[in-house]
Structure 1
Amino acid sequence: MSVDVLESAREGAPTVLLSSGLGGAGGYWAPQLDALRARFRVITYDQAGTGRARRDLPEDYTIGAMADDVLAILDQTATATCHFVGHALGGLVGLDLARRVPQRLNSLTVVNGWAAVDEHTKRCFEARLLLLEHAGPSAYVRAQPIFLYPALWLAQNAERARSEDAHGLTHFQGEETLRRRIGALLRFDAAADLAAIGTLAFVMGARDDVLVPVSQSEELAARLPNALLHVADYGGHAVNVTMPDAFNAALLDFLGRS
C-alpha cells in the first residue's frame, strides 16, 4: 500500500484520511491538502491496484476489502481514529467502515456517493465498461471527464483536460483492475444498515453531477441518523477539483464542529 502522511503545523492535530473515487490515486486530493494541513494531519493513499499500489485484484473484489486496507493504513501510521473523507467509491469505503468499526471514525464525509447504486449511475458505469471493452483504454479515458466535470468547466479548461487525458492513459490502472473495482462498487449495498450508523456524517453532493444524481446524496443524508447535507449548485462529480475553495470551506466548517 502506498501511503503519504502530511504532518500538520499544529502539534497533536487530529487526522483526516482522504479516500479517492474510482481513479484511486491519492493525488486526486491535491486541491485540499494546503487547506487541511493548516489544522489537520492528513493521510492520502493510492488504493490497491492503482497508482503506486498496482497489483492484481481478486475476481470477487469488494468494498469491504478496500475498507480493510484503510484499517491497515490506520494501524501502520499509528492512527487510533480519523476523520474519514471519501469521494464516490471512497465514500462507500467510509460507509463500510462506519457500519463495521465506528470506533475508528471521528466523522465520516461522503462526497457524491450512495448507499446502493441507482439505475442511472449503473447505466453510466455500464456504458463506460462497454467503451473499455469495445474501444479500449484510450476511448475510456477520453470519455472520463464528461462524467467528472460540468460542461462549462470542461469548455473553459480544455488544455487541462487534454493534459489529464494523457496522464490518465499513461497511468491507466489496467482493464481487469478497473472491471473488478467497478464490479465492487456496483455490488455494494449499505442501505439496510444506514439507520444503525451513528457516526457524525457530512454528505456533500453537487446538483449538476451527471454520474451520481444529487437525489442519492439527499437520500443518504436523510437515512443516516446523524448527518448533515451540503449541496453545491455547480461543480459536477469532481466538485472538490472544480470548486476547491467553496468545497474546502464547507469541509473545514464541518470538521471544525465535529
Structure 2
Amino acid sequence: MTAGLYTEVHGEPGAETVLLSSGLGGSAGYWGPQVPALLEAGYRVITYDQRGTGRSRQALPADYRIEHMADDVIGILDSEGVSRCHVVGHALGGLVGLQLALDQPARISSLALINAWAAPNPHSARCFEARLALLDHVGPRAYVEAQPIFLYPASWAAAHAERVQAEVDHAFEHFPGADTMKARIGALRRFEVSQRLAELSLPVFVSSALDDVLVPATCSGRLSQAIAGSTAHVLPHGGHAHNITAPDAFNESMLAFLRNQR
C-alpha cells in the first residue's frame, strides 16, 4: 500500500522505473502481459489500483478530474522514492500520463499512450452514454457484461470465451459502485488538452489499433501529428485492449521505444 493506494513494485531497486497506469477498470492486474516483458528487459515496474477501484476503495473527491489521478501517481512516486520514470498508460491511464507530462514534466522520462486521446469525440461519447444507460437502467451486471464488446475484437473474445467470462465475473464481484464509475467516466469525458500538446518535449510513443470500437484510431493519429517527434505504432487488429490481445507485437514496439531512451 503506497500513498493510500494499493501498489505493486516489481524488479530491482535502482533500475529504471516504468509506471503502468490502467484504463477505466483501474486495476493493476490489467498489465499481465507487460510486467514480465519489462522485468526481463531490466526495468523496475510499478502497477497500482486507481483510487476508488480494486483494492484502493477510497472515496473520490468532489468534481473528480484527471488531475486528481495524476496527483495520485506523484504520490506513489514520492512514496517509492522515484524522482523520474517512464509512464505507460492505457486509455484513461494515457490521459493521466498526458496530464503528468504537461504539469510535472521533470518527473516523466517518456510517455507511452495506448488508444488514448487529447479531446472528446462523438463516437466515444455515444459508447459511454450506452454504458451509462446500461448501468442506470439494467444494473452493474449488464454494465460489466458489455465491457468486452468495447475492449476486444469479436474474434478474439470468441476464441477466449472462458477467459473473458472470468474477467466479467471478477469485474462484477469487485464492481466499485455506480457513483464511483460515473465519476471516473465523467473525468475522462471532460479531459481536453488538445491545445497544450505542443508544450510536450519528452519522447512519446503512440500505439493504436485500427479496429478499436471504443476510441477511434484517428484520436491516436491526431496525438501523433500534434506531438513533435512522437513515435506512432499502429496495429490493424487488436481492439481497444490490443496490448492484451496482441501482446507480442505491442511489447516488441514498446520495448524498442524504451531502449531508445537509454
| TM range, smaller chain | over 0.9
Are 1:235 and 2:213 counterparts? no
What amino acid is the match of 1:199?
L
Gaps of 5+ in 2: none
- Give the match for residue 165 of structure 2: 162
Tell me, yes or no, if structure 1 residue 54 matches structure 2 residue 50.
no
Give per-residue Cα distances to partners, 1:64-107, cap 9 Å, x unaligned. Answer: 00000000000000001000000000000000011111110110
Distance 1:227 1:173 in 2: 35
Aligned mates of 1:41, 1:88 — CA distance in 2: 22
Tell me by how many angstroms 1:55 deviates.
Answer: 1.9
- Mean Cα displacement is larger for which, 151-160 or 67-76? 151-160
Describe the SS at the equivalent of 2:32.
Answer: helix
**In structure 1, what is the equivalent of residue 249 of structure 2?**
246
Q: Which residue of 2 aligns with 1:12?
A: 14
| 2:32 aligned to which of 30, 33, 37 | 30
2:87 paired residue among 81, 84, 89: 84
Rounded Cα–Cα distance in structure 2 between residues aligned with 1:134 and 1:194? 38
Q: Distance in 2 between matches of 1:193 and 1:232?
A: 27
Please report how far the alpha carbon of residue 118 of structure 1 lies from its aligned counterpart in structure 2 after TM superposition. Answer: 0.7
Aligned residue runs from structure 1 range 100-139, under 5 A: 100-139=103-142
Runs of 4 or more consecutive aligned structure 1 residues displaced over 2 Å after TM superposition: none
Tell me which residue corresponds to 1:148. 151
Q: Secondary structure at the match of 1:160?
A: helix
Question: Is the partner of 1:51 in helix, strand or coil?
Answer: coil
Percent of matched pairs sharing the same residue: 55
> 2:176 corresponds to which letter in structure 1?
Q
| Alpha-carbon shift at residue 119 of structure 1 (Å) | 0.6
Q: For residue 12 of structure 1, report the CA deviation from its aligned partner.
A: 3.3
Q: Tell me the distance in 2 between the aligned counterparts of 1:28 and 1:19.
A: 9
Q: C-alpha displacement at 1:173, in angstroms?
A: 1.4
Tell me how far apart the structure 2 counterparts of residues 251 and 242 of structure 1 sit (CA, whole Å). Answer: 15
Cα distance in 2 for residues equivalent to 1:236 and 1:173: 25
Q: CA deviation at 1:7?
A: 1.4
Matches within 5 A, 1:195-234: 195-234=198-237
Pairwise CA RMSD of aligned residues?
Answer: 0.9
How many residues are matched? 256
